[in-house]
């Protein structure tokens, strides 16, 4: 094996770790956002159930519904931006 090929193999093996997928943990920003989104929806659902049984005041219900609506609108906006970016990438000439 010549030195250029050996250098290429060493470079590939050094950069290979950077291309490996990370652990599926909630440590990433996207993971934390997804967990916060799910938690907000669950909290809104819990307050809605409590208000139906008479355990929560109407102000808490309105506040929980507003937070849930904001979370859903944010998620939809992020999704739309991701789809828009993907479509823009598809339109790029190769």
Rounded to two decimals, the pTM is 0.62
| pLDDT tens for each residue of 12-64 | 566 555 555 555 554 688 889 889 999 999 999 999 999 988 888 889 889 99
Q: What is the 3-state secondary structure (H, E, C) of the chain?
A: CCHHHHHHHHHHHHHHHHHCCCCCCCCCHHHHHHHHHHHHHHHHHHHHHHHHHCCCCHHHHHHHHHHHHHHHHHHHHHHHHHHHHHHHHHHCCC
Q: What ranges do the domains of the chain cover?
A: 22-91
| pLDDT tens for each residue of 68-81 | 999 999 999 999 99
């Amino acid at each position: 094996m010549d030195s250029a090929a050996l250098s290429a193999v060493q470079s590939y093996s050094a950069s290979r770790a950077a291309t490996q997928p990370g652990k599926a943990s909630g440590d990433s920003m996207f993971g934390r956002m997804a967990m916060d989104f799910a938690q907000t929806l669950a909290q809104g659902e819990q307050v809605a159930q409590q208000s139906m049984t008479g355990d929560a005041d109407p102000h808490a219900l309105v506040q929980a519904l507003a937070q849930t609506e904001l979370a859903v609108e944010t998620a939809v906006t992020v999704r739309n931006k991701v789809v828009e970016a993907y479509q823009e990438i598809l339109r790029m000439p190769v």
